[in-house]
Amino acid sequence: MKNTALTDIHVKAGAKMVPFAGYNMPVQYAGINAEHETVRKGVGVFDVSHMGEFILKGENALDLIQRVTSNDASKLYDGKVQYSCLPNEDGGIVDDLLVYRIDEKTYMLVVNASNIEKDWNWISKFNTNGVEMKNISDRTSLLAIQGPKAAEALQSLTSIDLASMEYYTFKKGTFAGIDNVVVSATGYTGAGGFEIYFDNDNAEQIWEAIFKAGEPFGIKPIGLGARDTLRLEMGFCLYGNDIDDATSPLEAGLGWVTKFSKEFTNSAALQQQKQDGISKKLVGFEMIDRGIPRHDYEIVDADGNVIGKVTSGTQSPSLQKAIGMGYVNKEFAKEDAEIFIKIRDNKVKAKIVKPPFYKA
């Protein structure tokens, strides 16, 4: 089990620690609902240093990214971030990721913790033109400071004008007295905020500076439990739940990051799937009757026929109702369609809704 550079701090703060993607991670401190509320209304800090970071550098770096990712990275400019995915050769997804353009010949890829080795090997397989690749995951810390008060809480720590940063952009600068920190505005909560990347050696100094600067704004540490409820309220996919090696980006509603203006891994087959039409689709739903949907629960029709399965589900802290996502046969994917979730052999009524579930 790996630790992040901040594990001891989490333990001292009373965090409940759990194994996640091979790391010892804080799942909650004060409780998931309270932490969820802190991020929606104020500002909270997630340690997400378990995520992976790769640097791709050289004349052919963009060409390699274009070949392995579904989105069109040629649209990026210095300081711009792009959401994308790595399609496999069988119609599924190796991983979803973020692509950061540092300069014309240098990119940073941010991948999911559970897929670091898998993604590295996959991209390396296509690196036939001498792109310099560095896996900096083990020496890089990543904090996500999320919530509507994030810019105010952090501004005293940097000369970067945080409030003016556009969504899916980043800047490099000095943060909490540390040089060469990457500050980005992407986010996985729908509450606004920033992610900061820095060397492990500076982790404790930056953590302490953030909490000192954020104290007047009620800043709190937040665990991965609230991260999951926050992302689900926005309808954001979680790799291993909502997307995986067997789900196509088109089925997952990721057609917007699947650009057929270029060739990439399995692009011809995916283009054919787009023309032929998909047979199943990832949808959002909310429960009408009482019951909480969980991963892998069956989705059935009124007659009890299996029409799909739940990929993510929870009791939404913001909405005070149970919500979920799952794949259903395409004919059941229409908004407001009635479906049933099989919970302990009972059919529990739900209806299809269009994410995000939570609208700020």
pLDDT digits (tens, 9 = 90+) for 290-326: 999 999 999 999 999 999 999 999 999 999 999 999 9
For the chain, state the CA radius of gyration: 21
pLDDT digits (tens, 9 = 90+) for 231-248: 999 999 999 999 999 999
SS3 at position 34: helix
Question: Residue 8: which H helix or E strand, with range?
Answer: helix 7-12
The 8-class DSSP code of residue 318 comes to T
Mean pLDDT of the region 200-228: 98
Q: Which two tokens stand for residue 339?
A: 């479906």
DSSP-derived pairing of the beta strands 280-287 and 298-300: unpaired
The 8-class DSSP code of residue 239 comes to B
Length, in residues, of the chain: 360
Q: Which two tokens stand for residue 4?
A: 């992040």
pLDDT digits (tens, 9 = 90+) for 149-189: 999 999 999 999 999 999 999 999 999 999 999 999 999 99
The phi-psi region of residue 263 (left if phi > 0; otherwise alpha if psi is between -120 and 50; otherwise beta) is beta
Mean pLDDT of the region 184-206: 97
Packed helices 61-68 and 116-126: angle between N→C axes, nearest 10 degrees: 110
Q: Is the dihedral of CA 145, 146, 152, 158 positive or negative?
A: positive
Assess whether pLDDT exceeds 90 at residue 360: no
Give backbone dihedrals phi and psi of 172, rounded to 5 degrees, phi first: -105, 140
Across the chain, what does the average pLDDT equal? 98
Q: Which two tokens stand for residue 40?
A: 């929606």
- Give 256's pLDDT tier (boundaries 50, 70, 90): very high
The label of the residue with tokens 């088109």 reads 250
Looking at residue 150, what is its pLDDT?
A: 98
pLDDT digits (tens, 9 = 90+) for 32-81: 999 999 999 999 999 999 999 999 999 999 999 999 999 999 999 999 99
Looking at residue 216, what is its pLDDT?
A: 98
The 8-class DSSP code of residue 217 comes to G
Mean pLDDT of the region 270-295: 98
Q: Which residues partner with 149 through β-bridges?
A: none
pLDDT digits (tens, 9 = 90+) for 123-159: 999 999 999 999 999 999 999 999 999 999 999 999 9
Task: Quote the CA–CA distance of 24 and 328 in Å, as a whole number.
Answer: 34
